[in-house]
Amino acid sequence: MRIEMSATEELIAFLPCRTPQAWLDWALQNQDLLLIDHANCEKKAASNAMTLMYRYVSHTELLTKMSQLAREELLHFEQVVNIMAQRDIAYQRIGPSRYAAGLREHMRTDRDGTLIDGLIVGAIVEARSCERFASLAPLLDDTLAKFYRSLLRSEARHFRDYLSLAQQYSDTPIDEHVERFLAVEKQLIESVDDQFRFHSGVPAVTTGNSPG
């Protein structure tokens, strides 16, 4: 628990804001959808790591860290799918939230800038995921709470790996770029969304959403 708390505190200090209570209330109203989109997020995270491996084949440390990350994210995907099966929740295709796309649209387009910004975005996504796991855990049933707490160590490490790689491959300090993306992230987290997703903002309405 000491490791989990220190990791959570580190990420809270890094992120520009906490998850709003309105989103947490929304999540509790949409727990099936929470798990479906959580599974999608794990699969997308693995895919993103693999994309970086294919695109930057000369970056040895990136290849090593992203290979490990992809394996862990796929394991998490399997674990979420198994929990869903135990609860008779059908895994299905749903549209993504605007969160990741909203961050990525601010990425630079030159090769080096794209790499650095992509790694920074990866760090922010992992940090927010970890913060939401920690925020949700006390509100959920014992099985889900235990599972979400079990993810904190690996998700925090993924955050650190992404951020350290971004600085390693940049010729200049990345602080200004990190702050630029954190400002965007704050707006995405605190603004209104029509559909609930794991990384959505606050609800436009207080009623539950069906998958879609």
Are 61 and 136 in contact by the 8 Å Cβ rule? The answer is: no
Whole-prediction pTM: 0.92
Spatial distance between the Cα atoms of 50 and 48, rounded to a whole number of angstroms: 5
Whole-number pLDDT of residue 153: 87
Tokens of 14: 């890094």
Which pLDDT value is given to residue 2? Answer: 43
CATH number of this structure's domain 2-12+22-89+107-195, picked from the four choices 3.40.190.10, 3.40.50.970, 3.40.50.1000, 1.20.1260.10: 1.20.1260.10
Q: In the prediction, which pLDDT does 7 show?
A: 66
Sign for the pseudo-dihedral over CA of 45, 31, 83, 8 = positive
Report the candidate in 16, 6, 164, 193 with the shortest Cα–Cα distance to residue 102.
193
What is the reported pLDDT for 206?
53
Count Cα atoms within 13 angstroms, Cβ side, for 210: 0
pLDDT for 6 equals 65
Q: Which residue has the tokens 């804001």?
A: 17
Secondary structure class of 17 (helix, strand, coil): coil
Domain ranges for the chain, please list them.
Answer: 2-12+22-89+107-195
Q: Tens of pLDDT along the chain (212 residues)?
A: 444 546 677 888 899 999 999 999 999 999 999 999 999 999 999 999 999 999 999 999 999 999 999 999 999 999 999 999 999 999 999 998 999 999 999 999 999 999 999 999 999 999 999 999 999 999 999 999 999 999 998 889 999 999 999 999 999 999 999 999 999 999 999 999 999 999 999 998 754 454 45
Cβ atoms 46, 70 nearer than 8 A: yes
Residue 130 and residue 11 in contact, taking contact as beta carbons nearer than 8 Å: yes
